[in-house]
Chain A
Amino acid sequence: MLLYLARRIVYVIPIVISVALVCFLLVHITPGDPLVAVLPADASQELAQQLRAAYGFDRPLPVQFGLWLWRALNGDLGHSIATGRPVLTEVIRAVGNTVTLALAAGVIGFTFGLLFGLVAGYFRDSWVDRLATSFAIAGVSVPHYWLGMVLVIIFSVELNWLPAVGAGPNGSGAWGWDWEHVRYLILPAVTTSVIPMGIITRTVRALTGDILSQDFVEALRAKGLRETDVFRHVVKNAAPTALAVMGLQLGYMLGGSILIETVFSWPGSGFLLNSAIFQRDLPLLQGTILVLALFFVILNLLVDIAQAAIDPRIKRG
């Protein structure tokens, strides 16, 4: 196990460096001057040159990357061009809200996904199976930003039960787990949960089907085990893969929340990313993407380790 752990961690290092490189290069594929957002339209050539030097844009690319990486490793992602605040501070505050949303959506999506998947896999080709698979296919096919709009139309516009936008009664103030705040979380969380719900239903259904058709299940039944105990064995065998898929989905929710956060004006990392793109705030764009991608890499690492801890077959592989 230790050897496996060490190998996995060492393997992540080049990935992290490459991810940083991609984030760094993103800014340099941007057409136009990276300073366009701060420079006044009538700025003199001299001023532009000075600013370029101040931001380090006049150095050769590899040097810029080295410096940027070194500063990033020390927790300095630069300052937002639009607000002048440190990028890291902005990103961390926003990521907190995204984590809240992703966790809430994860609880909903994983619970229903596992439930639907197990039931559908167990009662293959029954009406329950057909119902669950229809839900699942709708979940993976629906444009979630549109679903968000439809839910707002139903529950905010028509019924006036839940708030349509924001993350609390006083805009984007501090989050709390009381009803006043949770009301704001319901619609975005339900919207975010449909994709993981669909994917997990489909995965778990297929897994359950595969496991049930294996010889050992036959043996368990022949041994006279009750069906509930057989079911326990099925769950145990499906767990490692299901866990991996859930981990990956959690990562997708953290990194892919921009559309939903835009629909609901949820003050998370996606919302930040959106404003960074449209204000051409390149340090903020770079920093937000880097932090989200690193989150995703670390989450994947944790999932792999957890999977290896549960499933003894992986370590030997």
Chain B
Amino acid sequence: MSELPLQASSRAISDAALQAAPATKARGYWTTVGRRLSRDKVSLACALILLAILVSALIAPWLGLADPYQGSMIRRLRHIGTPGYLLGTDELGRDMLARLIYGGRLSLMVGISPVIFAFCIGTSLGLVAGYVGGWVNTAIMRAVDVFYAFPSVLLAIAISGALGAGITNSIVSLTVVFVPQIVRVAESVTTGMRSRDFVEAARASGAGPLTIMRVHILGNVLGPIFVYATSLISVSMILAAGLSFLGLGTKPPEPEWGLMLNTLRTAIYVNPWVAALPGAMIFAVSICFNLLSDGLRSAMDIRN
């Protein structure tokens, strides 16, 4: 079958992942991966940074921060380092440090949840397409091809623009963007697994297709798909904040990094570096997820 060589990169990833030959023993395998990952200094640092951002966002109300919604016209756009306002204030006089920390709540939620949803939906679809094959495969994969005909930023913005602004709509549109990508990876690893001896053996011993998919295939393909999904989080963070930046995501006055960047954009001639802060948060989270995903990939790339 002639498949579009559109996504050379994703196929290369799944090929490499196939060779990664996951797991004779499930627990031993994941322990090994965890140990390798924690020995990798870069991955460890990234994990700690992400954890710090996530935890501080979660416990923000108990950190003794200023009220992120409380503005004041007399203390607008204070500079970074102003006593009492460590990171300055925004265009409405709200404390930047508090808003950046509180902003992690929505930003991380809207950035990460589409990948989680897409991971669940995409893995199921890809598994079925890869295992059942035939016309089911053709139907699913051709539908996926249609979504590949749109650049992902365009697709996300088109769906969000059509649905209208809002957090739920952002999550829906980003999920639609990522599902096809995960389906392709899942289908390709499953197809590679389908004719393996142990699957044949399970089939010969009378296991039904659902059991085989759940017990014998899922465990073996989940790793590569998971790694691919983690590599999407960084894109998702950037796009989610980008939608808010355009005015298609969160609505004011909620603290959210993309929206903060948007509203502070008018202030770049007054207090440029405060205006750039929310983007630095997006950058930090996105680069940490990327490096962590790279670390995970090489940690899982176990060759005897």
- Contact call A296/B164, Cβ cutoff below 8 A: no
Could you say which residues of chain A place their CB within 8 Å of the CB of B198? none
Decide yes or no whether B259 CB sits under 8 A from chain A.
no
- Contact call B151/A296, Cβ cutoff below 8 A: yes
Inter-chain CB contacts under 8 Å: number: 157
- Contact call B164/A31, Cβ cutoff below 8 A: yes
- Contact call A256/B153, Cβ cutoff below 8 A: yes
* Cβ distance A82 to chain B, nearest Cβ, rounded Å: 14
B contacts with A: majority SS: helix
Q: Beyond A146-B282, A258-B246, A300-B6, is A277–B146 a contact (Cβ under 8 Å)?
A: no
List A140-162 residues whose CB lies under 8 Å from chain B: 140-147, 149-150, 152-153, 157-158
* Cβ distance B230 to chain A, nearest Cβ, rounded Å: 13
Cα separation A273 to B241 with both chains bound (whole Å): 18
- Contact call A274/B246, Cβ cutoff below 8 A: yes
Decide yes or no whether A226 CB sits under 8 A from chain B.
no
> Which one of A149, A199, A258 lies within 8 Å of B275 (CB-CB)?
A149
In chain B, what residue has the closest Cβ to A164? Answer: B268
* Cβ distance B276 to chain A, nearest Cβ, rounded Å: 5
Could you say which residues of chain A place their CB within 8 Å of the CB of B286? 141-143
In chain B, what residue has the closest Cβ to A289? Answer: B158
Task: Mark interface residues in A86-120 (1 if CB within 8 Å of B CB, else 0).
Answer: 00000000000000000000000000000000000
- Contact call A293/B149, Cβ cutoff below 8 A: yes
Interface locus among A21-29, A39-47, A48-56: A21-29
- Contact call A258/B153, Cβ cutoff below 8 A: yes
* Cβ distance B242 to chain A, nearest Cβ, rounded Å: 5
* Cβ distance B28 to chain A, nearest Cβ, rounded Å: 29
Interface residue range, chain A: 35 or more
Could you say which residues of chain A place their CB within 8 Å of the CB of B153? 252, 255-256, 258-259
Could you say which residues of chain B place their CB within 8 Å of the CB of A7? 2
Cα separation A285 to B158 with both chains bound (whole Å): 8
Could you say which residues of chain A place their CB within 8 Å of the CB of B4? 11, 300, 304
Decide yes or no whether A248 CB sits under 8 A from chain B.
yes
Decide yes or no whether B71 CB sits under 8 A from chain A.
no
> Which one of A11, A252, A274, A314 lies within 8 Å of B151 (CB-CB)?
A252
In chain B, what residue has the closest Cβ to A146? Answer: B279
Task: Mark interface residues in A186-218 (1 if CB within 8 Å of B CB, else 0).
Answer: 000000000000010001001000000000000
- Contact call B146/A149, Cβ cutoff below 8 A: no
- Contact call A22/B246, Cβ cutoff below 8 A: no
List B241-290 residues whose CB lies under 8 Å from chain A: 241-242, 245-248, 261, 265, 268-269, 272-273, 275-276, 278-280, 282-283, 286-287, 289-290
Decide yes or no whether B162 CB sits under 8 A from chain A.
yes
Cα separation A248 to B4 with both chains bound (whole Å): 12
In chain B, what residue has the closest Cβ to A152? Answer: B268
> Which one of B8, B159, B269, B278 lies within 8 Å of A26 (CB-CB)?
B159
Decide yes or no whether A307 CB sits under 8 A from chain B.
yes
Decide yes or no whether B93 CB sits under 8 A from chain A.
no
Cα separation A245 to B5 with both chains bound (whole Å): 10
Interface residue range, chain B: 35 or more
- Contact call B279/A262, Cβ cutoff below 8 A: no
Could you say which residues of chain B place their CB within 8 Å of the CB of A158? 272
> Which one of A146, A300, A304 lies within 8 Å of B283 (CB-CB)?
A146
Decide yes or no whether A67 CB sits under 8 A from chain B.
no
Q: Beyond A26-B162, A145-B261, is A297–B149 a contact (Cβ under 8 Å)?
A: yes
Could you say which residues of chain A place their CB within 8 Å of the CB of B248? 277
* Cβ distance A187 to chain B, nearest Cβ, rounded Å: 13
* Cβ distance B145 to chain A, nearest Cβ, rounded Å: 6
> Which one of A137, A142, A296, A304 lies within 8 Å of B5 (CB-CB)?
A304
> Which one of B2, B5, B245, B294 lies within 8 Å of A307 (CB-CB)?
B5
* Cβ distance B146 to chain A, nearest Cβ, rounded Å: 4
- Contact call A150/B276, Cβ cutoff below 8 A: yes
Could you say which residues of chain A place their CB within 8 Å of the CB of B161? 273, 276-277, 285
Cα separation A251 to B4 with both chains bound (whole Å): 15
Decide yes or no whether B29 CB sits under 8 A from chain A.
no
- Contact call B234/A258, Cβ cutoff below 8 A: no
Decide yes or no whether A230 CB sits under 8 A from chain B.
no
Decide yes or no whether A241 CB sits under 8 A from chain B.
yes
Decide yes or no whether B9 CB sits under 8 A from chain A.
yes
Contacts A7-B2, A300-B4 known; 11 new A-B pairs at CB < 8 A? A14-B142, A29-B163, A146-B280, A149-B261, A150-B279, A157-B272, A244-B5, A251-B151, A252-B152, A259-B245, A289-B154
A selection of 19 A-B contacts at a CB cut-off of 8 Å is: A8-B2, A15-B145, A19-B149, A23-B158, A142-B283, A143-B238, A143-B279, A146-B276, A153-B272, A203-B8, A248-B6, A252-B153, A256-B152, A277-B157, A289-B150, A292-B151, A293-B150, A296-B150, A304-B5
Which residues of B approach A to under 8 Å, CB–CB? 2, 4-9, 12, 142, 145-146, 149-154, 157-159, 161-164, 234, 237-238, 241-242, 245-248, 261, 265, 268-269, 272-273, 275-276, 278-280, 282-283, 286-287, 289-291, 294
Which residues of A approach B to under 8 Å, CB–CB? 7-8, 11, 14-15, 18-19, 22-23, 26-27, 29-31, 137-138, 140-147, 149-150, 152-153, 157-158, 199, 203, 206, 241, 244-245, 248, 251-252, 254-256, 258-259, 262-263, 273-274, 276-278, 285, 289, 292-293, 296-297, 300, 304, 307, 314, 317
What 8 pairs between A and B have smallest CB-CB spacing? A146-B279, A255-B151, A256-B153, A277-B161, A141-B287, A255-B154, A153-B272, A18-B146
